Each structure stands twice: as C-alpha cells, then as structure tokens.
Structure 1
Amino acid sequence: MVILDVTVINVAVPVIGRDLGTSLTGIQWITDGYTLVFAGFLLTGGGLGDRLGSRRVFCWGTAVFTVSSAACALAPAAAVLVAARLLEGFGAALIVPGSLALLQQAYPGPVERSRAFGLWGSMAGVAASAGPLLGGLLVSTVGWRWVFLINLPVGAACLSLTLRNVARSPRQVARPLDWPAQAAVVAAAALLTAALNESGRRGWTDPAVLAGLGSAVVAGSAFVVRERLARSPVLPLHLLRSRELSGGAVIGLLFNFGFYGMVFTASLEFQHQRGFSALRTGLALFPAVAMTMFASVLSGRLSRRTGDRPLVVAGMLLAALGLAGWAAAGAEPAYPVLVAPMMAAGFGTSFALTGSTSTVMGAAPASYSGAASALFNTARQIGSATGVALGGSLLAAAAHHTSGLRTSMGVGALAYLAAAVLAWRCVPTGLRER
C-alpha cells in the first residue's frame, strides 16, 4: 500500500484535477504532499517503534493509513484530498520502519532473515513498478476514487493478520524521544524533497530551489549537532560511522536514484513522445515489473550460499549495463530494443535490495532496528526524489527530448556503477549471526 501510493497517483492526477476543479498547484500537492510527509517522518516512525514497540506503531500506522485512504476516496474538494494525503503520508512513515523491524524480530537467523527481506523487497519493487499500470487500469474503468478505495480491504486484512499472528515487540520505554532532533530530521527531509520536486519545474538555479536546498543543509547540520549533545540520540553517531550502515544507506539512495529516474523519464517518453495512453504506458513498463517480482526472492535464497556482497555488486552492474544500453540505443530506438534495458534495471535493482537491506539492519543493534530501517528508507526516498527531479531537469534543459532522455539514462548508469563500487567496500561477504 505504502509504495503503491507513491506511484499509482501519477496517472490519476490529471483526471482528479478535472473532477475536483483544482489548479496545477493543487495537483502538485496531491502528488507531492504524501511524499513530503512520508520522507520527513520516517525517522520519527522508527524512533517511536523502538520506544513503544514496533508492532504497536506498525498497527497505528496501518490504521491511520487505511482511514486516511477512505478520506481520500470520499474527498469532495481538492483541499480535503490534500489534507487526507498528508495524513496518509504520516501513516506510511509509521508503517515502513516497523515492517522491517518486525521481520528482523520474527526471523533472527541470517538465512531466514534474508529470505524475508527478499520477499519484502519484491513486494516493494512490484508495487513501485505496477503503480502506473494499476492506476491507468482503475482510472479508465471504475474511476480515480478506487485508487484509494483498494487500500481499505488490504489495510483491514493487514491489521487483523498482524494482531493475530505477529508477536508483541520489545519496548525501550526508558529511552525518551529527542523531539528537537526529530524536528530537525523532518525539516531536512521535507525541505530537501520539496526543493528536488520543484527543481524539475523551476530549474536548479531558481532562488526558491536554492533556498530549499540550503535550508535542508542547515536542518541536517542542526540534527548532527543535536545528536552529539543528546543523552538519548535518535541514532547514535557511532552507528552512523559504521561503514556497513551508512554505506548500505547510500547504496539504497543510489539504486533508487537510478531506478525511479528511469521509470519517470521512460513514462514521459512513452506518453509524450510515442503517444501511449496511461494504460499502455503501464504495459510498456511491465518488463521492469516482471523482473522485480522474483529478483529479490531469488537473491534472498542465493545469499546463504554466496553472502550479500556478490549479489549486490552483480545487481548494480547489471542495472548499470541496462541503462547504459538504453543510452547507447540511438536517437529513437524501437520499443523492443528497450525491453532488455528495462528488464536489466528492474532485475538488478531488486536483486541488490535484499543484500543492502540485510547490511543496514545487521549493522544496528536490535534496540535501534526501527531507527536503522528508517534511515535506510529515508535515504531511498531521497534517492527517488533526486532521480525524478534530475530526470525532469535534463529533459527540460535538453535541446531535443531524446538527448535529455539518453543523458538521464547515462547518469543513472553512473549511479549504479558508484553503488557497485560502494557495495564492494561496505557490504559484508558472509552471513553473520546477530
């Protein structure tokens, strides 16, 4: 639900704008408001999970997400829809860190944990890639409100199954929440995401974009200073100095940068340049979806034989080869030529997700599993926003759309190569018992 709602809305917002009579600014807030709150409050969700119990906070998040999805579906006006999307983003920020922490709690052994993380990554990859297809199908058949209504039975089932089958989580009740640090993280993530989103429309040199980026740096610096002084930090700085934890987070940022940049620019290419409908665009992107369906599961099974490092490196190299192949395919390649690059990018990204997730979660003690999960997913959200923003800027600045597209794919390939090099240095080779 959480990842699907990031991408499924993209093909629905033009119809929503016409139905609710909202402006372009209103449409942007319907799309970006969710992402801003989601990215900004991830670390808060992780901290609450560590302190109050991951299962409890996960259930709270599921309830908030489900109720706010109903409010989105029933919204009579754009302002109500925007407010409901903001609340939905907060629910998502409570769900995601708890989901990884609960998997780590349920599967303490490294082999079983890798398989579980593989399934988690596979579902996330399928949801991210299937969003345009599902959104186009729903909008063209039963209407845009069903983009949100489908969350209601899923959310109810998730809450029921979690309460019935997932064990209660340990709580660190003696650890107070560092609200100044939390506020600094929220400000930094929200300002950075907002600036990156606006850069595609305004350009990187626009004063508002530069002010947003500068303010995000100031807020991030304030967080570091606060963590040095706090008696009970959100994420102790000695953990951030861990090569595996910080390196794994940067790898997540880089592969999300490459993958979501590819999906965004490919969607524009198919719709604006080739005249595809929203539904046909979703079908055109299906090769990437098909690969994510099993790549993470496969890497989870292989990791007990090879360890995580070879799988992450191989996945990043394969994805880099795919985007480099797209960039080298020529000015206007036929669609069948692009199938293999999309398959390589989708497979490589999902293949590396399991190992990078295991690296980050294995580097943090159990008492900080929620915070480590939040850090990893915040980095991935920043990577997604950066990939989309840079892809949009390159398309807008290029003299010809095709040259901008090929440049964007080339930059994505370089990001994947950088992730492969970093994985060779930071991801452990063998499985470790916690």
Structure 2
Amino acid sequence: MVNRLNSDAHVALAATTPRASFGAALVVTSLSTFVAMLAYSGPLGNAPALGRALGASPGAQTWILSSMSVGLAVSLLTAGSFADRNGRRRVFVAGAGVFTAGSVICAVATVPVVFVAGRLIEGVGAAGMIATGLGLVATVTKAPAQRSRSAAWWGTAMGLGIAGGPLLTGIFDLAGAWSTPYWLLAAAGAGIAVAARGLFPETAADRYRRPDLVGAVLLTAGLVALLVALVEARQSHLTAALVGTALAVCTLAGFVVSQLRGRFPMVDPPLFRRGDFVAANAAAVATGAGVIALMSFACTFLATAMGLTSLQAGAVLTLWSGSSAVSAVLVRGLAARVTGTAQLAVGLAVTGIGLLLLTGLEETATVGRLVPGLLVAGLATGVLNAGLARQAVATVPPERTALGTGITNTARYLAASIGVTVVSVLAASPKADTATQLAGWNHVAVLTGALTLAGAVSVPTLAARSSPRERNAS
C-alpha cells in the first residue's frame, strides 16, 4: 500500500512539473561525475609538489591522497538513502554546493590539515552528486535505449575524469599554480548546482519512511574507523590501526543489527535476496580491489621505479583511463544484446587479463612494455563501469535508484581503499633498488589480476540466484 502511494505521488509530481530534456539531464549528470573524478584523481598528478607546497610529512601525504576517497566511501550510501526519501534533486544540488565549498578550502589551504579537510568535504559533496545523478536522469526517460546511453556516458565521464585529473594538476604544477585546479573545480561545482536546480524536477519525497538516523551514524562511524585504520596501517602505525579496526567491527556490526531490526532501515534487507543485486555489488568490490587499487598505485610506481615525472606518469595512466572512457561510449548498445550480468562478467574477465599483462617486468623493461596491458585493461574497464552504472539502477526498485547507486559505489570505493592499502604494503620495500620495486609491482599485478578474474567467475554464479523475471529485467 505504501509503495502504491509513493508511486502515485511520483506520477502526480511528474505530471505537474516540467521535465528536463533527456540530453540536458544527461549532460549535467555526466559533467558532475567528470568533475568529481577530476578532483578524486587530481593529486596523483602532483603529489610530490603538493606535499612540498604544504610542508606535508609522509603521513600527511598519505592522507592527502586518501582523504577524498574516505569522504566518498562514508557518504555515498547515506546520500543515496536520504535522496530516495527526501528528493534526489535536493541532495544533488546540496552535494554540488558542498563540493564547491570543499574545493575552495583546498584552494586556500596553506597547511596539510586544512587541505585534507577540504578533500574530505569534496568527497562528501561528490557523494551527493554521484549517488543521485543516474536517478535524476531516470526521472526524464523511460526508454531502455536511453537508460543504456545514460550508463555508457556515466562510465565515460568517470574514465575521462580519472584521466584528466593528474594531467590537469600536473600541467598547472609546471607553472607553480597548484591551487588553480581547485578554483576551477569550485567554479564547476557552483555551475552544476545552479544548472541542476533549474533543470531537474524534484522527485517525490517518501513521507511514510522516517530517516534512519541511527543507521546513518553507525555506518558513518564504522566506515570512518575502518578507513582510518587502513591509512594508519599504510604508515605502519599498528596501534592506531588496531584500535580503528576494533571500532569499525563494533560499529558496523551495530549497523547490520539496526538494518535487520529497524522499522525503517536505510538498506532494505530483501535487496540482498536478489542475486543480480548481490552480483552487481560483488563486481563493484572486484573492480575496486582489482583495477582501481592497482591503477591508484601505478603513478607512484612509474615515478619511483621507472623515473618518470608526475606529469609523465599521469600521461601514461591515461592509456588506461582514457581508453576506458572511449569504450564506455562504444558499448552503449550492449543493453539490447546482452544482460547486465554478462556485461559485468565479461568486463571483469578481460580487465583481469589486462592486469596480468602488466606483470613480468624486468630491469630492462621500458614504459612501452606496459602499453598492451593498460589498453586491454582500460577498454574492459569502460565496459565494466558502464555495466556497474546500468546494474546499480536496474537491480533495485525504481523508487530506490539513488540507494542502489550509493550502495554500488560505496562497495567500489571501500574495496579500492582496502585494495590500494594492500597493494602499497605488498609492493613497498625498504630497499630502493629497481629490481626490488619491479618485483613488488609484478606481485601486486598478479594479485589484482587474479582477484578480478575471481570476480568474473562469481558474478554469474551469484546472479543465478535471481528469479527468471529479475534476470530478464536486469
């Protein structure tokens, strides 16, 4: 009965509110993802210079690189749940505003703690945009082809943003203007907020469900504790890491209990009985722990073991991220030919092969040795990103699309945070010689490739638990 009332409210709202054109809606949401990913990957392009400009210690530099992913991971699920219950446009516009504020703080920072705070705020704001963007586009289209195009362009925007971030910061760093990219990001965030407010209709608020404040507090506290533990572990601060881990276990266990017993849980437990939903999030975990973790470490490896500058390393990484952006557009017609589950499985399998092609480096190896693996992994990652965007919406009820996007991206970024920590620890060595660094890279390339291939096997197995109707729908 409640779902019917919600559906009726949504239809009534849609009938009285002017709709944005599909093209305009897609441009604004894709631009928001592109800008968020520019901010996310930017410090990879000038991390050493940024550390010098802010006087950052090695520990502070770790937080500079990790802080935005922390903000994203702890906010995505809460943002998605709140948006579905209180209006997606409201959360999207607020997210763009928060992102703008965070970018300004980064631009004016003169010490590491202020810059890290700005990056955390950027992550929270970006979560509001990422969790709601695809749901807002869904309000202005019903055609399956347009939904597939939305997922493809969303994946393209993600790839282009990741590719452009290190290049943008690296170029401005050459001119000694490291803060300029953050002013540009602030301007872009403000423009997106204004455009979205005048463009999108507000989605119907669910007046029959109270916000799950207890769940939100427990989840946020648990994820913050877990991510702090990971960052501290990367700095070999074992006591702080163990304390953070213990707090994370307790608070996340409390979150699970609150979701199982609460009257209005943030995450509907029945979703986890859908095989295709579980499969989509398993694919997100494999993506984060595999290709994103290795590529996040790649710039460091290229600079230390292969002697490239930060800008050169960012340009090499573009072979992966840029090709992923291209393939995400090219596969937009896949929805009419293959299921979302098949798209995820194939994307993971080929990505895994690409990662394995990156191993086997010897002391005489040049950057050219990495090109085939980067291109194969990049092209497949584009297929994968578009599939994740597609399934995040397709495997949840229409009124919960923001939650679906939030859960999938939380899984991806949380797994990426864990994965890059493991990769950094395994690849690091007290010896600075090239042979040791190459051996560490070879080991983590095999590890991440194997994890990705395991994800490719698990996706169809998990999806098989869905009913035939659910499998056809997704």
Give the TM-score normalised by structure 1: 0.92
* 1:197/1:433 CA distance change after superposition, 3 Å: same
Q: CA deviation at 1:375?
A: 0.8
Quick check: 1:28 aligned with 2:79?
no
Please tell me the residue identity of whatever aligns with 1:101.
G
* Among candidates 176, 199, 209, match of residue 241 of structure 2: 209
Whether contact under 8 Å (1:111, 1:431) holds in the other structure is no
Quick check: 1:46 aligned with 2:84?
no
Quick check: 1:163 aligned with 2:206?
no
Quick check: 1:361 aligned with 2:393?
yes
What residue is the counterpart of 2:12 in the other structure? none
Question: Where in structure 2 are the equivalents of 1:126-145 lying within 5 Å?
Answer: 126-141=160-175, 143-145=177-179
* Among candidates 100, 121, 143, match of residue 109 of structure 1: 143
Quick check: 1:419 aligned with 2:451?
no
- Cα-to-partner distance string for 1:265-323 (whole Å, 9 max, x where unaligned): 32122101121111111112221122112211222222212232333222212111111
Q: CA deviation at 1:28?
A: 3.4
- Cα-to-partner distance string for 1:176-210 (whole Å, 9 max, x where unaligned): 1111111111122222222223333318xx33323
> What CA distance in whole angstroms lies between the structure 1 residues aligned with 2:319 and 2:116?
32
* Among candidates 260, 278, 286, match of residue 246 of structure 1: 278
> What CA distance in whole angstroms lies between the structure 2 residues aligned with 1:101 and 1:142?
40
What residue is the counterpart of 2:32 in the other structure? none
Q: CA deviation at 1:233?
A: 0.6
Please tell me the residue identity of whatever aligns with 1:71.
I
Give the TM-score normalised by structure 2: 0.85
Unaligned runs of 5+ in 2: 1-34
> What CA distance in whole angstroms lies between the structure 1 residues aligned with 2:367 and 2:119?
35
> What CA distance in whole angstroms lies between the structure 1 residues aligned with 2:177 and 2:190?
22
Whether contact under 8 Å (1:47, 1:371) holds in the other structure is yes
What residue is the counterpart of 2:225 in the other structure? 191
What residue is the counterpart of 2:300 in the other structure? 268
Q: CA deviation at 1:364?
A: 1.1
Q: CA deviation at 1:393?
A: 0.7
> What CA distance in whole angstroms lies between the structure 2 residues aligned with 1:396 and 1:241?
40
> What CA distance in whole angstroms lies between the structure 2 residues aligned with 1:415 and 1:130?
27
- Cα-to-partner distance string for 1:59-78 (whole Å, 9 max, x where unaligned): 01101111321232123444
Whether contact under 8 Å (2:392, 2:401) holds in the other structure is no
Please tell me the residue identity of whatever aligns with 1:380.
R
Whether contact under 8 Å (1:259, 1:346) holds in the other structure is no
- Cα-to-partner distance string for 1:215-270 (whole Å, 9 max, x where unaligned): 32222211110111111110111112321112211211111222222213321221
Q: Provide the aligned length of Structure 1 versus Structure 2.
A: 432
Q: CA deviation at 1:392?
A: 0.6
> What CA distance in whole angstroms lies between the structure 1 residues aligned with 2:272 and 2:189?
34
Please tell me the residue identity of whatever aligns with 2:449.
A
Tell me which moved more, 117-126 or 290-299.
Answer: 290-299
What residue is the counterpart of 2:181 in the other structure? 147
Q: CA deviation at 1:139?
A: 1.3
Quick check: 1:224 aligned with 2:260?
no
> What CA distance in whole angstroms lies between the structure 2 residues aligned with 1:115 and 1:18?
43
Please tell me the residue identity of whatever aligns with 2:437.
H
Tell me which moved more, 16-25 or 59-68.
Answer: 16-25
Whether contact under 8 Å (1:247, 1:423) holds in the other structure is yes
> What CA distance in whole angstroms lies between the structure 1 residues aligned with 2:257 and 2:194?
41
Q: CA deviation at 1:357?
A: 2.7
What residue is the counterpart of 2:322 in the other structure? 290
Whether contact under 8 Å (1:248, 1:357) holds in the other structure is no
Whether contact under 8 Å (1:287, 1:339) holds in the other structure is yes
Please tell me the residue identity of whatever aligns with 1:379.
A
What is the SS of the residue equivalent to 2:331?
helix
Q: CA deviation at 1:331?
A: 5.2
Please tell me the residue identity of whatever aligns with 2:454.
A
Unaligned runs of 5+ in 1: none
> What CA distance in whole angstroms lies between the structure 1 residues aligned with 2:239 and 2:176?
42
> What CA distance in whole angstroms lies between the structure 2 residues aligned with 1:180 and 1:272?
45
- Cα-to-partner distance string for 1:53-109 (whole Å, 9 max, x where unaligned): 001110011011113212321234444333333322221222211112213323333
* Among candidates 399, 403, 417, match of residue 385 of structure 1: 417
* Among candidates 56, 69, 73, match of residue 103 of structure 2: 69
**Percent identical across equivalent pairs?**
25
* Among candidates 17, 26, 32, match of residue 51 of structure 2: 17
- Cα-to-partner distance string for 1:114-158 (whole Å, 9 max, x where unaligned): 210111111112212332222211211251101211213322332
Q: CA deviation at 1:29?
A: 3.4
> What CA distance in whole angstroms lies between the structure 2 residues aligned with 1:13 and 1:178?
38
> What CA distance in whole angstroms lies between the structure 2 residues aligned with 1:422 and 1:366?
26
Question: How big is the alpha-carbon RMSD for the aligned residues of Structure 1 and Structure 2?
Answer: 2.3
What is the SS of the residue equivalent to 1:160?
helix
Whether contact under 8 Å (1:103, 1:117) holds in the other structure is no
* 1:53/1:263 CA distance change after superposition, 3 Å: same
Whether contact under 8 Å (1:246, 1:360) holds in the other structure is no
